Structure formats: C-alpha cells, structure tokens
C-alpha cells in the first residue's frame, strides 16, 4: 500500500494511506498529467486540504512535477497557501526529492512569496540548502530582493550558510557567500558556519569559509572553538588545516578544556598525536584541575589516548582541584586495565584526594570489584581511613556492593570491626544501607553486632530507622538487644515507629519483646514517635500492644501527649484513632497548649472539627500569650477554622477575649490585613471599640496596618454605622 510521509519539522507529505486520500491527490502522485486534468474537469476543489492543511499544489510541488503544478495553478490553485506548519508549496518544492528548480521557477513566476517562513522560521532557501538542491538555491538567490533575505534566520538563529556548511556543499557555500551571506553569522548558541564545517570534518568547506574571512578562533556560547569541535569529532585533516591557518592549539572552552582534552574524551588517538605534534600542552588543566590524562583515564573510549600519553613526559600523579589523580578517575569509572597501566608507570596507589580517599575507597564506593582487586594486588591499604574516618570496607558496605566487600575481607589482617570517626563499624553501614548480603558476609566473618557507635546506636538502630525489615530480622535473629537505647534513650522501636511506614519492622520488634512503653530521656515513647512520623500503620500496632493504658503519668512523663502531636501535624486519621484513648481532650502542655489550640494555630480545619465534636473547649488560652484558638485562627488567616470555633464556642463572649496584651481576635485580624476574618468576627458581635494595653482600638490598627488598611477601615466603620 503506497504511503507518503512528513519530516519531523512538518516539511514534506505525511505518513498517510494514499488510497484514502482525495482522487486529485492520488492522480498527482501517479505523475500522470492527463489523469490530473480529467479529475479537474469534474469540478473538484483545487484548493482542498488534508488533515495537515496541505493542498494539491503542496503535493505536486513536493513531487517536483512542473506540468501538474502549472495545471493546478491555471485551475485556481493558490500559490501562497500555507499548511499546518506554515509551509507554502515553495517550501515543499525545495525539499521534495532533492528539490525541483522548475517548480520553484514556476511558483516564483506566479508571485509566490519566495522568502515566506514556516513555523520553524525556515525560508524555502533554508530547505533548499538543507536538501543540497543547488539549482533551487540558485533560482531563489536570483529572486532575493535584499541581503537580509539571504541572511534570514530560523528559530535556532541559523542562516542558510549554517546548513550549507554542515552539509559540506561547497558549491552552495560559495554561491551563498557571493550573494552576501554573512560568513561569521552566529546562531542562538553563537555557533558559526565554521563550527559546523569543523564538526562535520568538511575540510574543503573550512578552507572556503576561511578564504571568505571566517574567524578561525571564534567561540560559541560554550566557548568551543572550531578546533575543539574538529578534535571532538576526530577529524585529523580538519585539525591540521585549522592549526596551519592559525587556530590556537590550547584554546579553552567554558569548562577550561583544550582541544587535547576533547580528543582524549572521545578517544581520538590520531587527533591526540597531531595536537601534541603541534605543541599542545600535555599538562594543560581545565577549570577542575584535570589534565588530558585525567580525561583519558575516565572516558569510555580513552584507552588508546591514555596509553599514548603515559609514554610521554606526563605527570602520572597530577592531582586535580579535588585532589584526584588519573588513578582515582579510573576507580570512579571502573577502568581496571587502565589502572594497571597507570600503576605500572608509577601511579601512587594510596594517593589521597581532598576527602582523604584513595582509589580503593572510590572503587569500593562505585562497586568496581575487579579494579579493587587490581589495586589490592598492587598493595593498596584496605585499612586506610578516608572521609569521616571510613575505610574501603565501610564504603563498600554503605554502598551495598557485596563483591567489593568480599574482596576486602579476603585481605589478610583486615580488622572487620574497625570504626570510623563516628564509631560506626562496617556492619552499621550495611544495616543502614539495607544490604542483607553484606551483613551476612560480615557476620559470617566475625563482625560484632553489639558494638555501639558514638551516639550509642547498634546496627539494629540503623536498620530500624531505615525500615530495612530483612536487616532487622537478621540482627534480632543473631541476638541483638531490641531494647538497647542510644544516648537520647531511643530504642530501635522508637526509630522504626517514626520511619518504618510499612510497619514490618515495628511488628517484628514487638513480637520479639521490644518494650512499647519505654521512654527516651525526654519521656517520649514509640507511640509519640509514630504520631510525629505520621505513621498510622505502626501506631495501630503499638496501640494494640499497649492497650488503653498507654497514657502514663509521673514526674518524668512529658505533658506533650501523642494527641498534641497529632493535632500539630494535622493528621486526621491518627487524631481519630487516638481520641477514644483520652478522657480529657483539653489536656495541656507545659505552655498551656491544648490540642485544639495547636490545630487552630496551624489551620488544620478537619482536626479542629473533630476535637470540637469530642468536647474541646474554645475558651482555653495558652500560658505564654494568653491566646485562645480564636486568636490564633484570626491571626493566621485560617477562616474555616475560625468559623468553626465561633459556631461551637461554649461562651459567645469568647469572641472578645483579650490576650496578655489585651488584644482581641478582631485586633489581630485587622493588624494582619485579614479582612474576611474581620468580617466573620464582626458578624459574631466582636466589639470594634475595645482597646488594648496601648489604648488602641481595632479601627486604629486597621488604619495602621500595611496594605489592607482601607478595606479593613471600611469594614469596621460600616459595622459601627450599622450598630
């Protein structure tokens, strides 16, 4: 079944089934003039459009058939009709089948706009050049009314000369330049035609552009010179020509990379050799302090360049700004054969970067076990402490790479229980990462699961805080104490209650005699932590474990209850679960804060409503500011909470209750520009004439409030007039 297609930019005819198109389109694609003539005699619409707004003349122009195009025009086809992409028939004529100069000439003779732009701001000249349609280009340039048309730019800022240079079509390049095309024109990325020619390796085009005055050392927005691009593309002939014509061999881009860096990055040995033969600085550093050897050590294709560079007089142990040598770079990217080459040429195996890490640390971090094995075979120290005092064993466990861990444990004399600066062993790291495989390997090799770090935590604490059930299962099974506390008095259950949202760790710890009533040094239990972590699943398990007696009293019990925390967090489901356990919902903290005060302060309307249903009192004030829930809602613009509180207040006079500074809720509302809250309070008979400790009324505050004063004044004055 015959189809016709469109390019991604909308130029050309789209992927459509030809037999489903109008009979005129089918006749045009048959290429038979008489068939088209016969269809036209049936009085069909010569300007009919398909789903992409293309006319039969678009199709004829794309096919490059001047006889059919002429027949359509003589029958009324519009030459400047645009499709969905704003392409005219002339655009199609310039790109279809390499372009048809006869159709182009025909359309121009019928007054087509020769330099109309499509949605991508491309003129027919752009498309003719991109299609290497020299004859079309010649016809269009003959019609160009001004140099500006020749230098028209598309949406990327590219002229036709950019396209010609990229294609390496020297005839078109020469023709464009002769018609006034700017040889150093830059696109939106400041890329010149010479950049395109250099990147594509069009040596003759480069020579042609240079002869026309192209700036050989011009840079684009990334500060890449044409030589950078030729080196990156691996075109020795282009590099040779550019350098001979005066290109700076050590020019730097915005990252400080020279053309030699680019050649090494892309693994172009022949370019690397050429640049060095022209005097390129083999020790040149980019803005990260990396030499070409660093780049060759890291890049995927850089092995040949590295082998070549190490034979030169190059500093094998040159450190970048972060202190990393080329050997570190091989460790990052797992280039173990290159690491061996560097070591054979004198690379220091245990050289450290600015974090104190050796190449072995880096290999362990990224899980490159083959490279780690190479480093160890050359004497790398597996006990060397790096960042925060961690050994490679710590790093491999923290990253969860079992094979690296295995390699390190096979080294004779390795201390499996060595601690870092915070007192953590490798087992702590494996538990935190959740790597059961590393944990099993460590324990089977004698790792001690009962070692506390400097904050008093066991590996079990870290497995629990991360919610790693399998690790918790393993450690508890080994005999780790489930009720051991850290320096803050927290057990593994405290931490799991806050962070194990799935609840598996909490359930397992409870089944293995973890104490759900155990308090930390501040008196908080795992239930407090579950509420603070919005962990409904774990909270249900904890409440089932303690029953209705979890509310404790005593000198060491904090007055901040789980109910206060739930109200503060605004978790309606948790609040609903807790409320039946509390006989008094008006319980206060040390600051006199009730759950209702906290919910109102933070605007948790659903929680406010629920607490009111359970008998929370609106008139209770805190001990700090003597502010009620109504004060806080008015001050914080929580309109819905304010309305609920006013409707459910046990005493209607609470609306004028003063705080410690004798301010009413109305005063706070107008002071903060809360005109809607002020209206709500006035409707509930708030008195605008009450004065505070400074003898200022609500009206005075409205006048002095910034931004909303006029509206608040009108509200209060209007209310006073009504009364």
Exposed e or buried b for every residue in 436-456, given b needs 16+ CB within 10 A? Answer: bbbbebbbeeebebebbbeee
Model confidence at 7: pLDDT above 60: no
Q: Let me know whether 5 and 146 are in one domain.
A: yes
Model confidence at 19: pLDDT above 80: no
Specify the DSSP class assigned to residue 314.
-
More confident residue, 720 or 548: 548
* Res. 179 pLDDT band, cuts 50 70 90: very high
Look at residue 6 and tell me if it is in a domain: yes
Q: How far apart are CA 14 and CA 296, in angstroms?
A: 45
| Angular region, 15: left φ>0, alpha ψ -120 to 50, beta rest | beta
Query: pTM value?
Result: 0.83
* Res. 375 pLDDT band, cuts 50 70 90: very high
Q: Which of 277, 342, 274 is nearest to 314 (CA)?
A: 342
Per-residue model confidence as pLDDT tens digits over 196-239: 999 999 999 999 999 999 999 999 999 999 999 999 999 999 99
Look at residue 618 and tell me if it is in a domain: no
Q: How far apart are CA 645 and CA 649, in angstroms?
A: 6
More confident residue, 49 or 308: 308
* Res. 98 pLDDT band, cuts 50 70 90: low
Model confidence at 8: pLDDT above 50: no
What does each C-alpha distance from 67 to 70, 77, 84, 526 come to in angstroms?
5, 13, 25, 88
Model confidence at 456: pLDDT above 80: yes
Q: Let me know whether 224 and 128 are in one domain.
A: no
Q: Let me know whether 151 and 225 are in one domain.
A: no
- For residues 210 and 246, is the Cβ–Cβ distance under 8 A? no
Look at residue 509 and tell me if it is in a domain: no
Complete DSSP assignment for 223-276: ---HHHHHHHHT-HHHHHHHHHTT--TT---TT---HHHHHHHTT-HHHHHHHH
Q: Let me know whether 53 and 144 are in one domain.
A: yes
Q: Let me know whether 50 and 139 are in one domain.
A: yes
Complete DSSP assignment for 565-586: HHHHHT-HHHHHHHGGG-S-TT
Model confidence at 10: pLDDT above 80: no
- Residue 154: the pLDDT is 95
Average pLDDT, the chain: 91
Q: What does the radius of gyration of the chain's CA atoms come to, in whole angstroms? A: 39
Tokens of 13: 């005819």
- Residue 532: the pLDDT is 96
The residue out of 315, 335, 350 marking a domain boundary is: 315
Q: Let me know whether 133 and 17 are in one domain.
A: yes
- For residues 228 and 237, is the Cβ–Cβ distance under 8 A? no
Q: Let me know whether 5 and 149 are in one domain.
A: yes
- Residue 4: the pLDDT is 41
Beta bridge partners of 409: none
- Residue 211: the pLDDT is 96
Q: Count Cα neighbours of 524 within 13 Å in the Cβ-side half-sphere.
A: 23
Helix-strand-coil split of the chain, %, nearest 5: 50, 0, 45
- Residue 416: the pLDDT is 97
Burial class of residue 147, CB neighbours in 10 A (0-12, 13-18, 19+): exposed
Residue 13: give the domain boundaries. Answer: 1-155
Look at residue 663 and tell me if it is in a domain: no
- For residues 527 and 566, is the Cβ–Cβ distance under 8 A? no
- Residue 705: the pLDDT is 62
Q: Count Cα neighbours of 505 within 13 Å in the Cβ-side half-sphere.
A: 32
What does each C-alpha distance from 257 to 216, 228, 269, 497 come to in angstroms?
18, 9, 17, 51
Exposed e or buried b for every residue in 101-120, given b needs 16+ CB within 10 A? Answer: bbbbbbbbebebebbbbbeb
Model confidence at 407: pLDDT above 50: yes
Look at residue 418 and tell me if it is in a domain: no
- Find the DSSP H helices in 131-179: 134-143, 147-150, 160-167, 170-178
Q: For the chain, what's the residue count?
A: 723
Q: Which of 593, 584, 599, 515 is nearest to 553 (CA)?
A: 584
- Residue 492: the pLDDT is 98
Specify the DSSP class assigned to residue 691.
B
Q: Let me know whether 112 and 247 are in one domain.
A: no
The residue out of 269, 298, 315 marking a domain boundary is: 315
Q: Let me know whether 128 and 232 are in one domain.
A: no
Q: Let me know whether 132 and 229 are in one domain.
A: no
Q: How far apart are CA 689 and CA 7, in angstroms?
A: 75
Tokens 């601690």 identify what position? 419
Q: How far apart are CA 80 and CA 90, in angstroms?
A: 8
The residue out of 315, 338, 367 marking a domain boundary is: 315
Look at residue 575 and tell me if it is in a domain: no
- For residues 28 and 65, is the Cβ–Cβ distance under 8 A? yes
Q: CA quadruple 695, 699, 703, 707: dihedral positive or negative?
A: positive
Look at residue 641 and tell me if it is in a domain: no
Backbone angles phi, psi at 577, to 5 degrees: -70, -35
- Residue 557: the pLDDT is 78
Q: How far apart are CA 232 and CA 200, in angstroms?
A: 10
Per-residue model confidence as pLDDT tens digits over 633-680: 999 999 999 999 999 998 888 999 999 999 999 999 988 888 889 989
Tokens of 526: 């795992």
What does each C-alpha distance from 65 to 57, 97, 168, 709 come to in angstroms?
10, 11, 28, 75
Complete DSSP assignment for 488-511: TS--HHHHHHHH-TT-HHHHHHHH
Look at residue 83 and tell me if it is in a domain: yes
Model confidence at 276: pLDDT above 90: yes
Complete DSSP assignment for 90-133: HHHHHHGGG--HHHHHHHHHTT--TT---TT---HHHHHHHTT-
Q: How far apart are CA 67 and CA 50, in angstroms?
A: 22
CATH number at residue 31: 1.25.40.20
Q: Let me know whether 130 and 6 are in one domain.
A: yes
Tokens 């409205």 identify what position? 702
Q: How far apart are CA 124 and CA 445, in angstroms?
A: 74
Tokens of 574: 């948790």
- How many domains does the chain divide into? 2
Q: How far apart are CA 562 and CA 582, in angstroms?
A: 10
Angle at the Cα of 114 from the Cα atoms of 112 and 120, rounded to 5 degrees: 115
Non-local CB neighbours of 689 within 8 Å, separated by 6+ positions: 697, 698, 720
Tokens of 350: 């245990």
Q: Let me know whether 147 and 249 are in one domain.
A: no
């Amino acid at each position: 079944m015959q189809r016709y297609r469109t390019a991604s930019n909308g130029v050309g005819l789209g992927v459509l089934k030809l037999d489903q198109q109008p009979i005129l389109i089918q006749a045009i694609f048959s290429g038979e003039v008489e068939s088209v003539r016969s269809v036209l005699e049936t009085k069909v619409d010569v300007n009919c459009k398909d789903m992409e707004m293309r006319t039969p003349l678009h199709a004829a122009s794309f096919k490059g058939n001047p006889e059919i195009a002429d027949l359509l025009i003589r029958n009324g086809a519009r030459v400047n009709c645009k499709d969905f992409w704003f392409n005219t028939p002339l655009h199609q004529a310039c790109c279809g089948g390499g372009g048809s100069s006869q159709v182009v000439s025909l359309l121009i003779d019928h007054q087509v706009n020769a330099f109309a732009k499509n949605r991508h701001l491309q003129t027919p000249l752009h498309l003719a050049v991109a299609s290497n349609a020299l004859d079309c280009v010649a016809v269009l340039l003959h019609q160009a009314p001004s140099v500006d048309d020749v230098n028209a730019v598309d949406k990327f800022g590219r002229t036709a000369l950019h396209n010609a240079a990229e294609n390496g079509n020297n005839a078109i390049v020469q023709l464009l330049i002769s018609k006034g095309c700017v040889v150093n024109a830059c696109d939106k990325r400041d890329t010149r035609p010479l950049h395109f020619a250099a990147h594509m390796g069009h040596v003759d085009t480069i020579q042609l552009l240079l002869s026309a005055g192209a700036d050989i050392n011009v840079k684009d927005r990334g500060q890449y010179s044409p030589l950078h691009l030729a080196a990156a593309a691996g075109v020795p002939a282009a590099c040779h020509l550019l350098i001979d014509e005066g290109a700076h061999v050590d020019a730097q881009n915005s990252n400080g990379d020279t053309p030699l860096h680019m050649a090494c990055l892309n693994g172009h040995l022949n370019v690397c050799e050429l640049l060095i033969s022209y005097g390129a600085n083999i020790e040149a550093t980019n803005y990260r302090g990396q030499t070409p050897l660093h780049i060759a050590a890291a890049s995927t294709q850089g092995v040949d360049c590295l082998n070549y560079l190490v034979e030169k007089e190059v500093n094998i142990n040159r450190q970048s700004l972060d202190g990393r040598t080329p050997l570190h770079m091989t460790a990052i990217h797992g280039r173990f054969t290159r690491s061996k080459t560097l070591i054979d040429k004198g690379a220091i195996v245990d050289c450290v970067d600015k974090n104190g890490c050796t190449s072995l640390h880096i290999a362990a971090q990224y899980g490159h076990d083959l490279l780690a094995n190479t480093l160890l075979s050359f004497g790398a120290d597996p006990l060397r402490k790096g960042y925060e005092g961690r050994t490679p064993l710590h790093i491999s466990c923290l990253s969860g790479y079992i094979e690296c861990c295995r390699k390190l444990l096979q080294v004779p004399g390795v201390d499996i229980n060595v601690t870092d600066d915070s007192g953590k062993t490798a087992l702590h790291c494996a538990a935190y990462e959740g790597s059961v495989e590393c944990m099993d390997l460590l324990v089977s090799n004698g790792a001690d699961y009962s070692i506390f770090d400097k904050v008093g935590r066991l590996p079990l604490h870290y497995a629990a805080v991360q919610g790693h059930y399998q690790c918790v299962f393993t450690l508890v099974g080994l005999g780790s104490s489930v009720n051991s506390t850290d320096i803050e008095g927290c057990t593994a259950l405290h931490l799991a209650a806050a962070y194990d949202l799935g609840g598996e760790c909490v359930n397992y710890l409870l089944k293995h005699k973890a104490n759900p009533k155990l308090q930390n040094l501040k008196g908080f239990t795992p239930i407090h932590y579950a509420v603070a972590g919005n962990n409904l699943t774990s909270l249900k398990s904890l409440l089932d474990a303690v029953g209705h007696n979890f509310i404790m009293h005593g000198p060491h019990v904090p007055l901040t209850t789980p109910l206060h925390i739930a109200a503060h967090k605004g978790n309606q489901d948790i609040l609903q679960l807790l409320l039946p356990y509390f006989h008094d919902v008006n319980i206060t903290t040390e600051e006199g804060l009730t759950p209702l005060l906290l919910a109102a302060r933070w605007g948790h309307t659903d929680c406010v409503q629920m607490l009111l249903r359970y008998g929370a009192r609106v008139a209770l004030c805190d001990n700090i500011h003597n502010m009620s829930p109504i004060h806080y809602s008015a001050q914080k613009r929580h309109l819905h909470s304010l309305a609920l509180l006013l409707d459910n207040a046990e005493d209607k006079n609470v609306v004028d209750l003063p705080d410690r500074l004798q301010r009413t809720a109305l005063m706070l509302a107008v002071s903060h520009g809360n005109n809607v809250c002020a209206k709500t309070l006035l409707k509930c008979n708030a008195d605008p004439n009450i004065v505070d400790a400074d003898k200022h009324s609500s009206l005075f505050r409205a006048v002095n409030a910034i931004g909303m004063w006029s509206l608040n004044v009108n509200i209060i004055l209007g209310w006073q007039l009504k009364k």
